[in-house]
Structures are given as C-alpha cells and as structure tokens.
Amino acid sequence: MGEKYPCPPDAEHRSPSRKPASMARRLFLSALFLSVSILMAAGIVLSAVYRRTAEANFDERLGVYLRALIADIATPGETSATTPGQLGEPHFEIPFSGWYWQISRLDTKTQQIRNSRSLFASQLPRLSAEGVPAGIGGARKGYATGPDERKLRIVERIIDTEDQGIYLVQVAATVEGLEADIAGFERRLVVTFAVLALALVLSSAAQLRYGLMPLRRLQAGVAAIRRGEAEGIEGIFPPDIKPLSDELNLLIAANREVVKHARVQVGNLAHALKTPLSVLLNEASAEPASPLGAKVEKQAALMQEQISFYLKRARAAVRARTPGHATDVGQAVEALVRTFEKIYAGRNVRFSAAVMAPIRFQGERQDLDEMAGNLIDNAGKWASSRVAITAEPEPSSESIERRYFRLIIEDDGPGLDPDSRQAALARGKRLDETKPGSGLGLSIVADLAPLYGGELALDASPRGGLRAVLRLPAI
C-alpha cells in the first residue's frame, strides 16, 4: 500500500551526512568546557597550595620539638631531653605511636644515640641517605619510611656544640593525620566545585535561553509567514537582531510585489490572447463545411487549451515560490467531493473522503483544487461505482526538513497497465477518445506538483482501478 518517494532535488544539499551543531549547542558546550576546565585548574592549584600549607604547618610543629631538643643539648647541666614528658607530647612515650625523636652524636667513633621511648630500640633513617638536600643551616625536611613501615615526615638538623660535640637531631611523625586532613579538604573541594560547576552550567543554560530568545521569536515569525498566519515579522527586537527582521520584512514585501506584478502580466496575456482566438473560432465555425475552417477551428481550440495550461502553470509557479500561503486540505477535499457528487450523480458514482489528521497544504487553495480536482475528475470518469479519496500526513524524516502529506485517489474502474500509466501523464495524451476531456488533466497535475516540491505517481488500486498518489508539502 505504501509508496516510496525520492527526496526533493535539493535534499542532498540540505541534508549533509553530518548535521552541524546549533548555535545554542555550540555556545553551551563551549561554556561548559571552559567552566569545567577553569574549575579543574583552580581545584588543582588550591589542592597544591593547601598541601604545601598543611606541610608547612606540620613542619612548624615538628620544628618546635626540634628546637626544644637542640636547646636541651646546648644547655649542659640541665635536665636531659630524654626525660619522659620533657617535650610535652605523650606520643613520644608510646611505643611505635608514630611520633619519634632521635639524637645521634657524629664526632665519635662509637655510635651514641638517644631517642624517644616510642622508637622502642629502633632508629630513624637519615634524610641525607634518602637524597634530601640540605637547606639553610644544614636543616632537612622530607619523607621517609619509619621503623613500623609507615610513611614519616622528618625534620633534622646538625648541631655543633664545640666542647660537647656534634649531633644530628631528628624529629619525625607519621603523616596519616596530615594525609587524612588533605584528603578531607580535597573531598570538600570536589563537592564545592561540583556544586559550583552545576550552578555555572544551569546559569549558562538560562543565559543562553534568555539571550537567544529574540532569535527564536524571529524563527517563529518566519514560520508564521510560511504557514500563512502572518504577512510580516512582528514584535520588538534588540538592536543587533532588528536589522535582520527589517530586511526579511522588506524581502517579503518585495517578493509580494513581484508576485503581484507577475499575476497582472499573466492576466493581461490571457486577455490579450483570448480575443484573437475567439475571433478565429467564430470565423472557423461560420464555415463548418470548409476543410480550412474545420482545421482552423481544431487548431484554435488546441491553442486555447495549451494557453490555458501554460497560464495555469505560470500562475502556480509564481504562487509556489511565494511564502505565506496555507490551505486546509480537509475543507478543500470536502468541497471537491460535494461538487463531483453532483456532476456524476447520473452515473451513480459514490465519492468518499477520509482525512486522517488536520493537514494544511503549503500553497494556495486554487492550486490544490486544480490538482486534486483533475485527479478526482479522472477517477470519476473511469470509476464503475466508487471513488475513494484519502489524505494522510507522511512520516517526517530527519534527513528532510520539509513536511509532506499524501492525497490518494482510488477508483474501481478498469485501471491501467504499467506502460499506459506513464503515457497517461503525457500532455494532451488521451488513452480513450470515447471519454470527454482534453487529455491535459493528469499532465497538469504532473507539472504543477513539482513546482511545490511534490510529485504524482500512478499505481494499481486494491479496488481494481487506478491509484493516484499526489505528494505535496504540508505545514
């Protein structure tokens, strides 16, 4: 039952293999990319700054204990720094608590080491052996693996007390708390920036929607003109859009003037030719027995038909390229059915119409009546008892921007074989001289439909007769 039709001639130009992104989509994606990129860069920088600040604060705390140990060494006769609780930190007294201090004498052959009870007979690694460079005053700060295989942050310094010797003083602490603090900050940073990114995305979408609203109103105005609901683009537009709307209105007005002028010229041509042809016909009919009169009458009648055909086609071509026309298909079909029911009442031919959905033809009423009327008239001539007219919207396709509908006219007459169907579309071709008509009906439809980007196809009907499918643009 369904017919397959090729795309309009310009479809390949309007439907590239890859559809370009809309302006709103491009702006939104670019804003999204820039927002996310900036937030990610800011997050990385803030995380690095916080880590350095946290390490500096941690080092400062360790440095307090280091200076206390150095002061203990540099003050002979005072209480030893190994005295429990001397540094005021209980963690130094708990075995493998993660907090350690160690004092190593470097100027003696025998190793002399004092350390906190938390080391429990273990020793701290030296940062110099780990490749950490010395800073100002020989101090070093860095990471190393502790006696319990935990990562430690160590600060150390070499002290020369002259008469008392040279010492390496070290204070270390596990970084688990430091890393947990940094990780917590990074989680909060991620959540904060995620909320901020969402807010930026939503604000960008709202900004684009508000900013592109004039373009959408302009699009709606052009669509209203195309549907025949308005004669021009109305409304107040911002300064950067108003010149475009004004130019479109001027273009539409100029197009209407061209169409109006063309219609006047077509009408003038019709009137200019009608009188001479009428004179020729009258003169020829005055001498019916003369061979010359009969020949002139026949040729003049043929000229009238041809002129009528081309004038109709010219008027339709002008209207087809003029925006702002729309016709209700249901009303037009119902009016044609009532007309042809009266014309073929003597033959008892029944006409039935079914409009599957509200459809509007993108063109003028008289052109739709011309095309549909010729098809219905042709079906009425050949039908045995019934003609069925169906109007249905054609499923839209993403590759075709325009919408179409199909007007299907079927009869239960003798029908046509495939070769005769093509011949029936030829201008002036009559397959049966016993039927009234000029043979221009189907050819008029076949010529007018492409002017609107449509087409006419003939096929066999399930009712036994001919099935004519007229495909036209819809709104």
Listed as own residue / partner, the contacts of 191-199 with beta carbons closer than 8 Å and 24 or more positions apart are 193/39, 193/42, 193/43, 196/39, 197/35, 197/36, 197/39
Looking at residues 421-446, what average pLDDT do you find? 60
Determine the pLDDT at residue 313: 60
Tokens (6 digits) for 309: 């055909």
| Per-residue pLDDT tens digits for 332-344 | 999 999 999 999 8
Asked whether residue 93 carries a pLDDT value surpassing 70, the answer given is yes
Looking at residues 409-430, what average pLDDT do you find? 76
Determine the pLDDT at residue 19: 65
| Per-residue pLDDT tens digits for 237-290 | 888 888 888 888 888 888 777 777 776 676 677 667 766 777 777 777 776 667
Architecture of domain 76-177 in CATH? 2-Layer Sandwich (3.30)
**Banded pLDDT at 314 (limits 50, 70, 90):** low
Query: How many Å apart are CA 149 and CA 329, to the nearest integer?
Result: 86
**Banded pLDDT at 24 (limits 50, 70, 90):** confident
| Strand pairing class (386-393; 350-355) | parallel
On the question of a common fold for 76-177 and 327-474, the answer reads: no
Topology, domain 327-474: Heat Shock Protein 90 (3.30.565)
Domain extent listing, the chain: 76-177, 242-320, 327-474
Taking the model in full, what pTM does it have?
0.50
Sheet containing strand 112-115, edge to edge, reads 112-115, 99-105, 166-174, 151-160, 140-145
| Per-residue pLDDT tens digits for 113-139 | 888 888 888 889 988 888 888 877 778
Higher pLDDT, 436 or 310: 310
**Which residue, chain included where needed, has tokens 């010219």?**
314
Determine the pLDDT at residue 22: 76
Contact 281, 287 (CB under 8 A): no
| Per-residue pLDDT tens digits for 14-23 | 444 566 777 7
Q: What is the mean pLDDT of the chain?
A: 80
- How far does Cα 388 stand from its chain's mean position? 41
Determine the pLDDT at residue 318: 56
Contact 35, 422 (CB under 8 A): no
| Per-residue pLDDT tens digits for 178-201 | 999 999 999 999 999 999 999 988
Asked whether residue 433 carries a pLDDT value surpassing 50, the answer given is no
Determine the pLDDT at residue 448: 83
Looking at residues 133-158, what average pLDDT do you find? 86
